Chains A and B, each alone.
Chain A
Amino acid sequence: MTYICLMLVEKANQIYEEAKAAIKSAPDSKTLYNVKVNFLGKQGQLSALMREMVQLPKEERPEFGKLVNEKKQNLENHYESREQELKKLELQQLIENEKLDLTLPGPDRDLGKIHPIAKVIDDISSILNFLGYSVQTGPLIEKDWFNFEALNIPQDHPARDEQDTFYIDETHVLRTHTSPVQIHTMLKQSPPFRAIAPGPVFRCDSDVSHSPNFHQIEALLIDKNVSMADLKGTIAFFVREFFGPEIKTRFRPSFFPFTEPSAEVDCSCPICKGKGCRMCKNSGWIEIGGSGLVNPKVLEQANIDPKEWQGFAFGFGIERMAIIKYGVPDIRLFSDNDIRFLSQF
C-alpha cells in the first residue's frame, strides 16, 4: 500500500468515527439531517474523499472505493436507526405537549326540548299508533251541538253543571273536552275506525290543581262486537307501555253521558308500585281517566246504527299524566314556561 493510500484510509476512518459520533449524539432530527448533509451528502466529506481517490494508483483505487462505500453504507444505517429513534422521541414530545384538560366544557350549543305536555301527547299517540289509532283534530272554539248535544248532554242536563264552560256566544263554547272530536270523526269517517284526539280543552275553573286551559287525549274505536273487555284490554296495554310492565289497571263504575257502561280508570301507583305514597294518597291506586262503551244515543247522533256498530272511548288528562310520570310538583309550571323548567325534559 502506498503512503498516500494509507493517509487516505486513515482519513476515511477518521471521518467515519467522527460521523458516527455525530449521528449518535444528534439531539434532534434537524441536527441529524445536517450531520447527514455534512458527511453523506453530495458535497459532504465522504464524497470529497472519494474525489481525492484520483491521487491513488489505479490498482489501489477499487480497494479504497469499496472501503469508503462500506463506510458510507454503514453510516447510512446508523443514520436511519437514529432517525427512527429521534422521530419516536419527537412524536412523544409532541403528544405530551398536546395534553388537554377535557373537563373544560366544549362549545356550548343549545339543546332544544319538547314541552312536557307535547311530550306526553306524543308518547301516548305513538303507543296508540301501533294499535292502529291515528290522530284527528277539531276546532277549539266549538259549536254547542258538538261539545254537548251530540254527546248526549242536552241543554238542561245536570251534567252541564259538572263542566264550567267558557262561552263565546249563544251557540259557541271553548271545548270543555276532546270528546267533540269523536263526533267530527264519526261524521267524517265510515266505520270501522280507530282515532285519537289530543289537544287543549278549557274549563272556567282555576286553583292550585286546576288550570282553565289544560290538555286531554282521547281514543275512540268504532267496530263490530265491541265489549268492555276490549276496552279494558286496550287501556291495560296502554298503561303497561306508558308507565311500565308491572302497572295494573282497574275499572270503577262511573257516569259520563256519552258512554254506557262508564268506568273511571285507575292504575296501580307507578311511584310507589302500589305500596302507598303521597301521590296515591296511600291507596296504591291513581285515577288517570274515564272510559266506557260509546252510548248508543251518541252513535245515533252521528248517523251510525248502534245495532250494527258499537264503540268504546277513553281519555286522560295530559297534565295529570305528566304529573304522575315526571313528578311535576305544581300545575302552574306547565304554563309559566320558565326555561329552567322546560330544560328538564
Chain B
Amino acid sequence: MKVSLQWLNQYIDVSDFFNQPQVLADKITQAGLEVEDLEDPAKNLANVIVGQVKELASHPNADKLTLCQVDIGEGTLRQIVCGAKNHRQGDKVAVAIPGAVLPGDFAIKKSQIRGVDSLGMMCSEVELGLSNESAGIMILPKEAQVGTSFAEYMGLNDIIFELKVTPNRADCLSHLGLARELSALLDRPLKFPETTLKTTDKTSSSLVKLELKNSEWCPRYAGRAIFGVKVGPSPVWLKQSLEKIGLNSINNIVDVTNYVMMELGQPLHAFDATFISESKIIIDNSIKGEKFTTLDGTEIELSGDELTIRDGEKAVALAGIVGGKNSGVNEETKDIFLESAYFTAATVRKTSRRLGIQTDSCYRFSRGTDPDGVVEAMNRACHLIQQVAGGQVAKDFWDEYPLPIKKEPILVEHSYLEERLGYAVDFFDFAKWMSRLSCKVEEDSVASQCWVSAPMYRWDLWSDIDLVEEYGRLHGYDKIPEKLPSLSYEPLSEDKEYTHQKQWNQKLCEEGFLQAVNYNFVSKDFEIQLLGNEADEKTTGLVTIAEAVKISNPISEDYNVMRRRVFTGLFKNLVYNYRHGSEYGRLFETGHVFYSSGEEYKQNMHLGLCAWGQKNQLWQKEKSRPVVYDVKTAIENLLESLHIPSWQWREFPQGKVPTYLHPYQTTVLFLEGRMVGYMGSLHPSLLDDNKIRTGAAMAELDMQKIMRGQPRVPQAKAISKFPAVTRDFSFVMSSEAKVSDRIQKMKKISGSLLQKVEVFDEFTGGQLKEGERSVSFRLTFQDMDGTLNEQRLAQLQKEMLS
C-alpha cells in the first residue's frame, strides 16, 4: 500500500520527519509494518518551473523547430527552442531550466540549437517521469501560477511510503490506520477528520428502503441519501491525493468514496438512485444463473452463492467487491445512495477468488474491516461530497446491525507474559502500551493479571499470546535477551532418508562425480520423448507409471509434471553442459521421483548418474574404455562401501531395454536376488539428435531398495601370514560368454584360497576366429593355514583350464 506523508500528517503530526523520512520508515519497519520503498515524487523536478509561452515563432534555420519566448516569472523572457508542435501562444507549460536533472539522469544545460541559444526545455509528461507516453509537451491548465515550482504546483512535494502490510494487520490499510499505529508508537495525539454535515429535512428512506436479508454474511449495512449532487471533475487536492498513491481520478463522487477508503480503510459505494428500481436496496444472495455486468464492463454469471446488493429486480453490486454497470454514478446523476457496510472477510474472499476479481475494496474486506467504523466513514464521505459536489444530505440514515459483534476481553497473566518473552516485564508498562493501542485495560486487584479489551478493528488480537506479541514488538524486539534452552532429554534419531542421501552424496563425490540438483518437475512432453516406452518395474527394478503426476496449475509447460526419473534432469544437464563447451562431465543426483498409487501420491529416492566424454590425460597409456565402465565402477565402489556382500549385473529381462539406451551396452543390477536399478550407454541416435559427439552413459538406482538392511557393519577377518602366489590365465571365449560367469566359475573352484581376481587384458583379432576373444586374468591365491604347495596349485590350475 502506498502512503503519502503529507496525507498522513493530517491525522498525526509527523512534520518533523519530512526531512528525514528514512527515520520514520525504520520506526515503522521495526514495529512490524515493513516499509519496502521510499519514493520522493519531486526528486527529479528541482529547477522545473511553471511558465507561459509569450511569443512563438519558427526557428530561423529549421522548419521543424519553434522558437519560443517563455515567462517563468524572472522579469525577463527566456528563449527556448522546442521540437514539439502542440503548444500555442499563451499556453502554460513546465519549463526545465539549466541545473534541472530530469528522470533518467537527463541534465538540462544551456545550449545552442541550429545556431540559436536555448535556455531550457519545455517538458513532456514522459520527460517529467509522470507518464509512459505523451504526444508533445505538457500543457498545464490556465490557473497554473507562472513562476511557481512545478513540483509544488503538482502537489508532489511529498514522500510516498510503499508499505508491506501483513495479512493480519488489515487495520493499517489506510492513512488513519497507520496514523493510529504511529500514535501508539510515538505517543502523539491523533486528529480525526471532519464529519460535520448540513442536512435537509428529507429522510434517507424517502430515497430507498433497505432490507438486510443475509445478516450472517453482512452483519452491518448503513446508507445515507444525498440529494441534488453535481457530478464533475474533482478539485485539484482530491485528484492529486489519489494520483500520488496510484489511483486514477474518475469523478468527484467516486473519488470521494476512494479517498475515504484510503483515509479510513472503509470501502464505500455510491448508487445512482434513479437506477434503483422500486426504490429498494436488498442485501441478499445472488440468483443462480443471473448475469451481472461489473462497472468496468465484465459480464459474469452468478452461482447463487455470492452476496449481492439488489434492487426490486436485479443485482446492482457484488457485495464488497465491485459495483454494477447498471447503477453507478455518471455525469447526469443527481440523487445518490451512499453505502457503508461490514461484509464478512470470508464471504468477500470466497467470491473474489471464485470470480477472479481483485479490487482495493475486496482486498480490505477480505482482510477484515471495522464494523464499528461504518457510520463514521459514511458521514465522512457525506461531508466531503457536500464539499466537492454540493447536494443535500438526508437528515437520517439507514443502519441495520441486528446482532452487534462483540469481542470478549482477554485475560493476560503477568507470569505468562514474562515466560513467553523470556524477560522481566513491568506490568504497568504493559498496561500503558495496551492503552496506547486503544485497548481497555482492567487490572485485577492483585495485579498479577489483567483483562484487556482490544478495539474491534484489531482482528489479530484474540488471545493472550497475541497481546504478548503486541507488547513484545512495541516495547522492542531488541529488548529480548539471548538464551540457549537447555537439553534435558534424548534427541530423536535422524531420519534415515536424509542420512542415507548424505552418505551417498559423499561416496559419489569420492568417485569424482559432481552433485546436481534439478527441479522436481519436468516437461511432460520432454520426459515422454526422452524416456519413450519406459520398461516397467519388472524389467528395470524401478517403479514406473504410465502417467506422470500432473501439476494442475504449472508455471509453464516446461515444468508441468513431477519427474519419474532423476535421469530426465541429468540428461538436460548433459545437453546444457555439452553445448556450453564441457565435452567431459560426471554428474550425479540423489532426489525424489513421484508416482501415484490409487488415491495416494508416493515418492521414492533415486540415485541418477550421468557421465560423458573422455579425459585426455598426459599419463594415460592405454586407449580409454567406454564411459559406461566409469559409471559401473562408481556404483560398485558405492556398493562396496556399503558392505553389500554380493551383486550381479544381468541382462534386461525379456530383452526389454529402454529405448534411450544402447541395446548392447545395458545391464540391470541385482542385489540379493532383487532388481534395484539399471545402467547403460546412451543410444547413439539420442546422442546424435542432441548433437553430442562423444560417448555418454547413465544409471538410475532405487535408494530405498539398496539401503534395505543398512547399516551393514563390516566384520573384520584375520590376515594370512603366509605368502601369496599369483597365476595368470588366458581364456579364449566366445564374445557372447560373460566374463562375470568365468570369474564366478574360478571363484567356485578355488573357494577361500582365491583372494583376488583381476582382468588385465582383452584381445580380439590376430589368430583368433571371428566371434572369439581372449581374456586374461591374474589370480592371487593365499592360504590362512600354511604356504601353498605346488601340488595344490597345479591341481587348481588343471581344474581352471578344464
Nearest CB in chain B: distance from A299 CB, A: 11
Residue of A139, A168, A195, A237 most packed against chain B (CB within 10 A): A168
Asked if B587 and A337 sit within 8 Å, CB to CB, the answer is yes
Interface of A is mostly: mixed
Q: Which of A8-16, A74-82, A104-112 contacts B (4 or more CB under 8 A)?
A: A104-112
Interface string of B449-480 (1 = CB under 8 A from A): 00000000000100101101100110001101
- Given A137-B497, A168-B550, A338-B577, the answer on whether A261 and B472 have CB atoms closer than 8 Å is yes
Q: Among the listed A110, A134, A227, which residue makes an inter-chain contact with B586, where contact means beta carbons less than 8 Å apart?
A: A110
B422 contacts A by Cβ under 8 Å: yes
Is A252 in contact with B32, judged by CB distance below 8 angstroms?
Answer: yes
| A107 B617 Cβ-Cβ under 8 A | yes
Q: CA A230 – CA B483 in complex, angstroms?
A: 5
CB distance A225 to B585 under 8 Å?
A: no
If A227-B422, A335-B518, A337-B518 touch, whether A233 touches B484 (CB-CB below 8 Å) is: yes
Please give the number of chain A residues whose Cβ is less than 8 angstroms from any Cβ of chain B in the complex.
90
B484 touches A254 (CB 8 A): no
Check B317 for interface membership: any CB of A closer than 8 A.
Answer: no
* Residues in A whose Cβ lies below 8 Å from that of B511: 110, 112
Contact of B615 among A108, A117, A255, A296 (CB under 8 A): A108
B29 CB-CB contact with A under 8 Å: yes
Q: Which residues of B contact A132 (CB under 8 A)?
A: 487, 491
Structural contact, A229 and B482, CB atoms closer than 8 A? yes
Decide: A335 near B517, CB < 8 A? Known: A227-B419, A229-B483, A230-B483. yes
Whether A342 lies near B516 (C-beta < 8 A) is yes
B57 on interface, CB distance cutoff 8 Å:
no
Min CB–CB distance A312 → chain B (angstroms)? 9
Q: A133-B491, A343-B514 are in contact. Are A112 and B586 (CB under 8 A)?
A: yes
Cβ of B485 under 8 Å from chain A: yes
Nearest chain A CB to B652's CB is how many angstroms away?
28
Return the chain A residue nearest B31 by Cβ: A253
Question: Please, which residue of chain A has its CB at the minimum distance from the CB of B468?
Answer: A261
Question: Which A residue sits closest to B499, measured CB to CB?
Answer: A135
Interface residues of B in 305-353 (CB under 8 A from A): 345-346, 349-350, 353
Q: How far is the CA of A67 from the CA of B176 in the complex (A)?
A: 129
Is B463 in contact with A111, judged by CB distance below 8 angstroms? no
Are A252 and B30 in contact, CB atoms less than 8 angstroms apart? yes
Q: A166-B554, A260-B465 are in contact. Are A253 and B576 (CB under 8 A)?
A: no
Q: A156-B346, A233-B482 are in contact. Are A134 and B594 (CB under 8 A)?
A: no
Interface residue? A162 (CB, 8 A): yes
* Residues of the A chain whose Cβ atoms lie less than 8 Å from the Cβ of B617: 107-108
Q: Does B549 contact A (CB under 8 A)?
A: yes
Q: Does B492 contact A193, Cβ atoms closer than 8 Å? A: yes
Chain B residues within an 8 Å CB radius of A167 = 551-553
Q: Does B180 contact A (CB under 8 A)?
A: no
Contacts of B473 in A (CB 8 A): 253, 261
Q: Are A260 and B466 in contact (CB under 8 A)?
A: yes
Cross-chain contact A112 with B515 (CB below 8 angstroms): yes
Q: Which of B489-548 contact A (CB under 8 A)?
A: 489, 491-495, 497-499, 502, 505-506, 508-521
> Which one of A122, A202, A339 contacts B585 once the chains associate, using CB atoms below 8 Å?
A339
Contact between A255 and B346 (Cβ–Cβ < 8 Å)? no
B230 contacts A by Cβ under 8 Å: no
Residues of A within 8 A of B350 (CB): 156
Task: Give chain B residues whose Cβ lies under 8 Å from the Cβ of A337.
Answer: 516-518, 569, 573, 576-577, 587
Within the complex, the shortest CB–CB distance from A169 to chain B, in Å, comes to 7
Interface residue B420 (Cβ < 8 Å from any Cβ of A)? yes
A 125-158 contacts with B by CB, 8 A: 125, 129, 131-137, 139-141, 156-158
For chain B, residues 350 to 374, give those with C-beta under 8 angstroms from any C-beta of chain A: 350, 353, 366-367
Contact with B along A271-299 (1 / 0, CB 8 A): 00000000000000000000001011000
Q: In whole Å, how far is B505's beta carbon from the nearest beta carbon of chain A?
A: 6
Any chain B CB within 8 A of the CB of A103? Answer: no
Query: Which residues on the A side are within 8 Å of B502 (C-beta)?
Result: 118, 122
> A residues within 8 A CB of B166?
254-255
In the assembled complex, which residues on chain B have CB atoms less than 8 Å from the CB atom of A262? 469
Given known A-B contacts A158-B349, A338-B580, A251 and B477 have beta carbons under 8 A apart: yes
Given contacts A118-B515, A135-B494, A168-B549, are A206 and B505 in contact (CB under 8 A)?
A: no
B562 lies within 8 A of chain A by Cβ = yes
Interface set of B (CB-CB < 8 Å, partner A): 29-32, 34, 166-169, 345-346, 349-350, 353, 366-367, 419-423, 460, 463, 465-466, 468-469, 472-473, 477-478, 480-485, 487-489, 491-495, 497-499, 502, 505-506, 508-521, 549-556, 559, 562, 569, 573, 576-577, 580, 582, 585-588, 592, 594, 601, 603, 615, 617-619
Query: Chain A residues in contact with chain B, CB under 8 A?
Result: 104-115, 117-118, 122, 125, 129, 131-137, 139-141, 156-159, 161-162, 166-169, 172, 174, 189, 192-195, 198, 200, 202, 204-206, 212-213, 221, 223, 225-230, 232-234, 236-237, 249-255, 257, 260-263, 293, 295-296, 310, 334-340, 342-343
- Can you list 9 pairs linking A and B with CB atoms under 8 Å apart? A104-B618, A112-B514, A117-B517, A118-B517, A136-B495, A140-B603, A193-B489, A252-B30, A343-B514
